[in-house]
Every structure is written in structure tokens, then in C-alpha cells.
Structure 1
Amino acid sequence: MEGTEQHIPHAPVQVEPLSPSILLVDDQASNLLALEAILEPMGQRLVRASSGSEALRWLLREDFALILLDVRMPGMDGFETARIIRQRERSRYTPIIFLTAHGRDEANLVHGYASGAADYVVKPFHPDVLRWKVEAFVSLYVRQQAVQQHEATLWARERRMLEQQGEQRFRRLVDSMPQFVWALLADGTISYANRGWLDYAGLTPEQGRQREENLRCCHPEDMNRIEESWRVLRRSRRPGEQELRLRRARDGEFRWFLFRTLPEHDEVGRLVGWISTATDVDDARHAAEALRAASEAKDMFLTMAAHELRTPLQAARSYTDLAKVKAGEELTPRVGRALEGVQRSVNRMARLVENLLDVGRLERGELRLKSGEVDVGSLLSDVAEHFEPLPEDRYIQVEAPRGLVVKADGERLDQVFSNLVSNALRYSPDGGVIHLRAREEKGWTHVEVRDQGLGIPADRLESIFERFGRAHGVSYGGLGLGLSIAKGIIERHGGRIWAESSGRGGDGSTFHVLLPKASR
């Protein structure tokens, strides 16, 4: 039983009563005692409130099956109290029985029902009538609570079933994956391994959750890397990946797998576990190794062939020079032109041989640079002179400031820019100007080689710097090694080379070379 003098805390603490509670609201203590005497035999929990404000404080604390509310009270009367009760979502539908001494005055009835009353009891009230009314509302409340509890139970059961079904679907999905999947706790304990791994390793589900059984399937040479990577993962708590070998139970063969491990965190960011997957990369790895071996064999063949060709080419060049000297004044124009043609062919073959050798040196990191101070303007002028005389419809224009110096291998830079100019002439069938421009840019020397030729298709701007890469196929000759060598030489100098082109004929192309400026 609650007294009117009881202190009611303002904190909204929810009370879970053992039986439905009834709130009795009246400013007269005698009326509260009378209500308690009538309702106490029903066995419900009865709570007193001597004012509307006190009643509202009780409603902040707990829910009630019914409110018996006196209409006439000083300060906040019953009508005002009822309106406030109805404004709160939690008590909006709590039944209110008004207690009034004014009989069933029509105006009061309308006012009361408008304020949210469910019923009226007129003072002095008949005890049995009051109990019957209260019992009806309490019984309705109990049934509503039972229905809500039943609904909550059904929903919880349905949610558990849905979660179980979702878990089963997830397990079936993971078991059907070609990858191997493990779920681990934060400390590395294996909580789940999918069917793919169990079948591959020949493990039972129980063995699949044992770390030692899983480690027995790893290659002995990989064990140290496994332990070290796990220490790194636990320390960093970040994703990681590595390639490891796993033994197949069917034939004992070890195959390479790519492992990826991701951390799992809860909603507050705490580490709760790990998900690890393994993807078979054995065939791809062997294919890559075979390609690498074939590439190395090809490079070795080209290098050996180039070395073997140097001696006969040098001999051919020497014999051509000797023939000119021996013939002397007796050399006829026709024979002279033939010897010059032979000499051009020999020189062209010699350049191809040197290109093949340079490619091999770059691949092996054996290209040696002879560093010195190089005047860029003088270098570009020398490059332009290499190609004189030019046809009437073509000429090379050099623009470079005096004193622009780089620290580099002059012969190798001559090779780079000669190749760029040669390409510009080759891919300018309609002639035009080849511009060689150099300028200083914030610690760099920037050289441009621009032509007015065919241009380079957009999808070829990057691949032209690869070995055997060509912008326009084999139509214009060459092995497609020059730009690859130029890129290697410039990068060995700490610089960068790239191309720009719209791809439209007549717009031409511009090759850019950045070289570190020589420090003074």
C-alpha cells in the first residue's frame, strides 16, 4: 500500500510490478482510504497520488492498468491532468475513470470524455459497481499484456528461426565456394572451416577447428612465415595476404594458395575475430613461372645472337671501307653507290644489334652510365646535325638557352634524342618542322621533341614504351625497341619520359623528357 506522504523521485525509473497496478488520484486522504478499502480485496497493487502533478510523476516511473482520477482538485484539476496524460505516448491509451460528486451532468460528461475519460463514477459510489468497473478494465489490461507477451514470444521465436535459416544459408553458400574459408576468434582459435577446405585437407569438422591439424597441412618451409605473419596481423589488426603451400590429402601434392585475412570488429570497434580465405593460384603461378622462364630464354637468345652478329657486321663494315680504299680513283659511281648501300645496311644492322644488347643490359641492370656535365643546347644541336642533309620539306629547329647543364651520360642522352628525332622524321611522311626545345623548370631540365606527323592513338601512348611496342604496327619499320631503351636510359638518370598526342594526323606528337638539373 502506498501513502500520500511518500517521496516520489523524479528519475524515470521503470518498475516491473508483479501484478497490474492501479493509480488512485484524489486530493482528499479520506477518499483515497475509501478507494483502497473497496479495491484492496481484488489483490491489485494500489498506488496513491494526492494531486495531478504527483500522478504525472508516477506515470513517468511506470505503467498502470487503470487510473481513478478525481475531477475536482486544487491547482491542476482532473480534466487538465487527463489531457496531459493523453499527450504522452506511453500513457495515451491508459483507461481513466473520472470520480465526480456532480452527478451525470451532461456538460461535465462531454468535458470529461473530451479530456480522455473511459468512464465515470459518481460519488458516493456503490462499492460493488466500482469493483465491477475496475475489474473489467484490469481484466482487459491483463489480456492485452498477455497478447503482447505472446506476440513478443512469437516474434522472438520467428527471429531465432530466421537467424538459424540465415546461418544455414550462409554456411551452405560458404561451403559451396571454391575458396577455402576459416572463421577465427580474436585469439586465433578456429571456430569454423568450410567444406571445401575439409575435403581438400581430408579433415573432419572437429579436426578443422584444431589449429595443429590445420598447420600439419602446410608446407614445412612455410611454417616460419606463417607464424611471423600471424604475429604481424595480431599486432597491427589490419588486413594481410601472403602465398603459402597446402597439401592435398588425395595425392599428397602441395599447391600454392593466396591467403587473405581480414579482421572483424564489433559496433564499438573492438576486435572480435578474423575471416581468412585461401584461393588456389598454383596453376597461375606455374604459368607465370613458365612465361618468365620463356622470356628469360628469349632474352638470352637475343643477347647471344646480338653478340654473335657483332663480329661479322664489323667485318662487313671493314671490307666495305677497304673496297673503297683499294678502288681509289677507279671506283665507278655505280659501284660506289652499291658500296654505300651496303654500308648503310651494315650500319642499320649494327644499330639493331646494339639496341638488342642495350635491352638486355637494362633488363639485367647492367647498363653503365658515364656521368659528366652536358650542355643541353649543344647536345640538341649535335643531334640535329646527325640528320643533315634533310629533304627540302623537312627541317629541325633547336631552341635552348645557353648554360643549361645536366649531369648525365652525354652519349646515352645523344642516343635517346637521336631516337626521338628519328621517330619524328619516320612518322612525318608529309614533312614539316621537328622542334627541339629545352627549358629549366624548378630544378629540372625539360626537353620537348615535337613533330607534325601522324600522331599516336590514345590507347598506345603508354604501350609504345614497352619492348617491341609500336604506335602504327610494322608499316614504318623498326623493332620497337628504341623508346623502351630511351625510357630505361632516362629513368637510370633519375628522370622521366612520356608522350602526348591527340591521335589526329597533322597534329603530330610531343615527347617530354625531364632530367634533374646539375647542382652547382
Structure 2
Amino acid sequence: MVDDHPANLLALEAILEPLGQRLVKASSGPEALRWLLREDFALILLDVQMPGVDGFETARLIRQRQRTRYTPIIFLTATNRDEAHLVHGYAMGAADYVVKPFHPDVLRWKVEAFVALYRQQQRLQQQEAALWERERHILERQSELRFRRLVDSMPQLVWALLVDGTISYANRGWLDYAGLTPEQGRRWEEYQRCVHPEDLPRVRKAWDASLHTGRPLEQEYRLRRARDGEYRWFLARTLPERDEEGRIVGWISTATDIDDARRAVETLQAASEAKDMFLTMAAHELRTPLQAARSYAHLAKVKAGEQVEPGLERALTGVHRSVNRMARLVENLMDVGRLQRGELHLEPGEVDLTALLREVVEHFQPLTEGQRIELDVPRGLVLHADRDRLDQVFTNLVANALRYSPGEAHLRLTAREEAGQVHVEVTDRGLGIPPGQLEHVFERFSRAHGISYGGLGLGLAISRGIVEQHGGRIWAESPGRAGQGSTFHVVLPGAPRQSDAASG
């Protein structure tokens, strides 16, 4: 009730008190607006003629707020009964217009009608809210049912856990696999009975750590299958569920059967180990007869003397070359075995890398017609490394570059210092490395161009092992097109000394 005359407010209070409603009195438009900021009202009785902010302006301000836009307003006035004045009042948002003096019962009936309408609206809103809440619960139950059906159809084993680790749900996959009832599937002791005894301590320890830290968990362990009692390997992942504030409210855990894949990997590993064992044993057995053949070939050439016939000399030279090639292959097989077992030992010392690279280039002299090796290395590059093993690395790289650069091969061997390291590059203009092979060329028995160019595919694997054992890196770059060749990079740690640069 808004009126600037206290007597009028008392009169309104007396008329409306029999309705049993809470009545709030305001002596001005601004005071009424303050009440409306704090509370909702069923009806506003608003006097038109008030000093300052009159009834029309107060109504306009009330209608501007979303919260009070539809609150009914009855204007009370003792003046301006003409039609234009009434129209203006309704335009300002009046629900009704009462002209003083008015009959008390009439006003009371009008107010009672608006109060009844307000209560009915409240009941409708409450019913709507109740219906919406019920619908929400139905939708949630349907969603949960669909979720459980989906989870039950998954091949993975799935558990939902409370924040303390208590199992609240286990899917049909787990119940069928372990032969448990839904009630048993929620018991930790039943779950633990299915874990392989050798894996159980490790599983418990990892799970306790995740509960303590809140971190995701991933581990492999064996679970017993109820149908035949077989233990199969599973990959289990457990993730925390968090609320909007980041607090853990539960856990979701899944287990995926990886037994067949794991057994396949173990079979391949066993086959690979058997192959490595065979190659190592074969290399050991071949070393002695090859050494003997090399000695006999050398002895025959010595005994033949300088008067040996050209045909016999070519034969002896060919035998000696073939024996040396076989000996190198055997040594490569031996080195691969040592790398696999971690038994390739280094004998580090001071190495003049400049001199070493010059010797590598000289080793391949004389080259065939049209082939040449350009050497660009500064003087005084010194490393602390195993000289023989580095010689093996760079010899392998140059030999490969020549092998895959048919015709007029042009190789470039460069070295430079880089922040306390030495960077060596071997660049050719040969066949290049096909796309998709760059990441495989350093694997054992890998040959980017098949068997057409010979070799066992061990040189780069051995080179990588030697470089990495020195604490360095080796990699290859290639556009993959013939004529654009490849570049092999070797970066080795050290404290090189740099003097005047020279080209060779």
C-alpha cells in the first residue's frame, strides 16, 4: 500500500485486515521501490497523487524490472476522473483503477481476487516445478538405465567406485567373467580373490597410492576366469571423477583383456631371442675357419712370390677380399649380439677426430672413376672417445653412402663444433631413403632398398648403438627422391679444441 498520507494508509489497512494477508505500508514511491527490491508481492495499491515521484512514475519504474514487470497494480486517485487520465494510468501498467471515495467492500473484493490469482499462480508454479523434478528423476533413471545397458554390453570389465574406493557398481562383463552375483561383484574381497596371487601385492600398493594422491592409475595384472580357472592378462585403467570444484567424488575403473596380444608379443620376443642366439653362435663358429682361410690365402700369395701368374693372382686376391668381407659380416653379427646384451665395451681415450675422418676417407681410395669424397673438417677437433669404434661408425656411413650412390658418386663429409659438441655430417646425392623408412633405417636387418644393394642391414644399427653409448645422437634426413640423396648426422659430446680451419 503506497500513499503519502498516513491516514489513508491506516484506512486501507483497516479495510484489508479481514483478509488475513500481510500488509506492507510505504509513504512514497522510492520507499515502495526499496520494498520491491527485497520481496515479492501479490498486489500493489498505488496512490497517483504523491509529491516527488508520483504514482505514474513509480509504476513505470516498477514495470522496468523483470522481477516486478507483471505484479498487478491498482491505482487509487481522488482527482482526474476523465477518460484520458484513466487511459494514461492503464498505459503505465495499471491492472485496475479505483477512484476515491470507494466502497470498502468493493476494494476488498478486488484485492481478494488478485490475492487468489497470485496464490493460484504459485500453486501452478509449484506443480510445474514438481512435475519438472519428477520428469528430471525419470530422465535420470532412464539415462542411468541406458548407461548401464551400454556398459553391460562392453567387452571391457567396468567398475564404479565411491570416493573411498568402495565398489558401487560392476558391469555384466565382470560378473560373467568372474562368475559373481551383482552383490558379490561389489565386494572387494571377491575382486581380490580373482587377482593372481603374484600380482595382488603390486595391485594393492598401486591402488592405495592412487587413493592417497588422487592420480590416475594404469597397470597390467592377471585375473582368473571363472569358466575354466585360467588367469588372463588385463590392462586396467582407473580415473578419478571430479565435481565442478575439482574435488574427487568417485572413481571409474576399466580392465581390457590383452592376454592374446601379450602372448603374441612374448612369442615374437622369444623368436627374436632365439634368432639372436643362433646368429651369435653362428658368428662364433665362423670366426675360426674364416681366420684360417684368411691366413691360408695370405700364405698362398706369399709363397707364389712375384712371378705368380695373373690368373692365379686375381684368384688369390678375390679369395682374400671375400674372406675379409665375410669376416666383417661376422664381426657385425658379434657386435649386434654385444649391443643386445649390453656387453659392447668402450675403451675411451683422446681422439683426433680430424685425423680419424681423413683416415676414413683414405681407406676408400682409390675410388672408381667419377666418384669423389669431399672432406671439410677443421683442424684440432679432439674428443674423448673410443677411436676404433668411431672409425667403425664413420666407415659404415661412408660405405653406405657409396653403396647407395651408383654411378658418379659425390660425397661430402663435414664436421663442426656446436656448443661443446661435435656435429659430423655425411651427405650423398644417391638414391635417398624412401618415405616411411627414415624411422626404421637404424633397426637391425633393415634395408631401405631391399636386398638389391647387399649387406645384412646391421651397419646402421651398430653405429647407433656405438654413438648412443658415447652419449651422442645419430639420425638421417632425406627428401626420398633419387638424385637428392641423404644426410646422416652424428652429434658427439666432448670438449673439442679449435685451431685454424682447413679443408681437405
TM-score (norm 1): 0.93
The letter of the residue matching 1:340 is T
The letter of the residue matching 2:483 is G
Deviation at 1:223, TM superposition (A): 2.1
Give the counterpart of 2:112 among 92, 112, 135: 135
1:407 aligns with 384
**Aligned partners of 1:126, 1:454: CA distance in 2, in Å?**
110
1:429 aligns with 406
1:319 aligns with 296
1:510 aligns with 487
**Aligned partners of 1:58, 1:330: CA distance in 2, in Å?**
129
Instruction: Give 5+ residue unaligned stretches, structure 1.
Output: 1-23
**Aligned partners of 2:274, 2:388: CA distance in 1, in Å?**
30
Deviation at 1:330, TM superposition (A): 4.5
Deviation at 1:519, TM superposition (A): 7.1
The letter of the residue matching 1:377 is T
Deviations 1:277-303 (A, max 9, x none): 111111111111111111000000001
**Aligned partners of 1:450, 1:217: CA distance in 2, in Å?**
59
Deviation at 1:42, TM superposition (A): 2.4
The letter of the residue matching 1:315 is A
Give the counterpart of 1:239 among 213, 216, 224: 216
**Aligned partners of 1:369, 1:412: CA distance in 2, in Å?**
8
The answer as to whether partners of 1:376 and 1:406 remain within 8 angstroms in 2 is yes
**Aligned partners of 1:392, 1:253: CA distance in 2, in Å?**
68
Identity %: 74
Give the alignment of 1:485-504 within 5 angstroms.
485-504=462-481
1:14 aligns with none
**Aligned partners of 2:70, 2:465: CA distance in 1, in Å?**
83
**1:70 equivalenced with 2:70 (yes/no):** no
CA-based RMSD of the aligned residues comes to 1.4
1:391 aligns with 368
**Aligned partners of 1:503, 1:221: CA distance in 2, in Å?**
50
Give the counterpart of 2:72 among 61, 70, 95: 95
The answer as to whether partners of 1:377 and 1:399 remain within 8 angstroms in 2 is no
**1:219 equivalenced with 2:192 (yes/no):** no
Give the alignment of 1:280-359 within 5 angstroms.
280-359=257-336
The answer as to whether partners of 2:194 and 2:224 remain within 8 angstroms in 1 is yes
The letter of the residue matching 1:207 is Q
Deviation at 1:40, TM superposition (A): 2.1
The answer as to whether partners of 1:29 and 1:50 remain within 8 angstroms in 2 is yes
**Aligned partners of 2:213, 2:80: CA distance in 1, in Å?**
79
The answer as to whether partners of 2:464 and 2:473 remain within 8 angstroms in 1 is yes
The letter of the residue matching 1:41 is P
Deviation at 1:64, TM superposition (A): 1.2
**Aligned partners of 1:235, 1:283: CA distance in 2, in Å?**
33
The letter of the residue matching 2:374 is Q
Deviation at 1:29, TM superposition (A): 1.9
Q: Secondary structure at the match of 1:464?
A: coil
Deviations 1:297-330 (A, max 9, x none): 0000001011111112112111211221222245
The answer as to whether partners of 2:376 and 2:413 remain within 8 angstroms in 1 is yes
**1:84 equivalenced with 2:61 (yes/no):** yes
1:472 aligns with 449
**1:254 equivalenced with 2:203 (yes/no):** no
1:50 aligns with 27
Deviation at 1:103, TM superposition (A): 5.1
**Aligned partners of 1:496, 1:435: CA distance in 2, in Å?**
20
Deviation at 1:139, TM superposition (A): 2.5
Give the counterpart of 2:124 among 143, 147, 159: 147
Deviations 1:114-151 (A, max 9, x none): 21111110101012221232233222222222222221
The letter of the residue matching 1:204 is T
Instruction: Give 5+ residue unaligned stretches, structure 2.
Output: 498-504
**Aligned partners of 1:469, 1:432: CA distance in 2, in Å?**
23
The answer as to whether partners of 2:382 and 2:496 remain within 8 angstroms in 1 is no
Higher mean Cα deviation, 125-134 or 191-200?
Answer: 125-134
Q: Secondary structure at the match of 1:494?
A: coil
1:20 aligns with none
Higher mean Cα deviation, 369-378 or 323-332?
Answer: 323-332
Q: What is the count of residue pairs matched by the alignment? A: 497
The answer as to whether partners of 1:431 and 1:453 remain within 8 angstroms in 2 is no
**1:121 equivalenced with 2:98 (yes/no):** yes
Deviations 1:451-507 (A, max 9, x none): 121111232112111111112111111111111111111111111111111122222
Deviation at 1:432, TM superposition (A): 3.2
**Aligned partners of 1:279, 1:135: CA distance in 2, in Å?**
69
Give the counterpart of 1:167 among 123, 144, 147: 144
**1:197 equivalenced with 2:169 (yes/no):** no
Deviation at 1:510, TM superposition (A): 1.1
**Aligned partners of 1:190, 1:432: CA distance in 2, in Å?**
70
Give the counterpart of 1:438 among 394, 415, 434: 415
Q: Secondary structure at the match of 1:47?
A: coil
Higher mean Cα deviation, 314-323 or 360-369?
Answer: 314-323
**Aligned partners of 1:38, 1:203: CA distance in 2, in Å?**
75
Of structures 1 and 2, the one with the larger relative CO (CA 8 A, separation 6+) is 2
The answer as to whether partners of 1:103 and 1:123 remain within 8 angstroms in 2 is no
Q: Secondary structure at the match of 2:52?
A: coil
Q: Secondary structure at the match of 1:25?
A: coil
Higher mean Cα deviation, 491-500 or 428-437?
Answer: 428-437
Q: Secondary structure at the match of 1:124?
A: coil
The letter of the residue matching 1:345 is S
Q: Secondary structure at the match of 2:436?
A: helix
The answer as to whether partners of 1:425 and 1:431 remain within 8 angstroms in 2 is no
**Aligned partners of 1:79, 1:461: CA distance in 2, in Å?**
84
Q: Secondary structure at the match of 1:243?
A: strand
Q: Secondary structure at the match of 1:456?
A: coil
Deviation at 1:106, TM superposition (A): 2.3
Deviation at 1:249, TM superposition (A): 1.2
The answer as to whether partners of 1:103 and 1:122 remain within 8 angstroms in 2 is no
Deviations 1:50-77 (A, max 9, x none): 2212211211121111111111112221
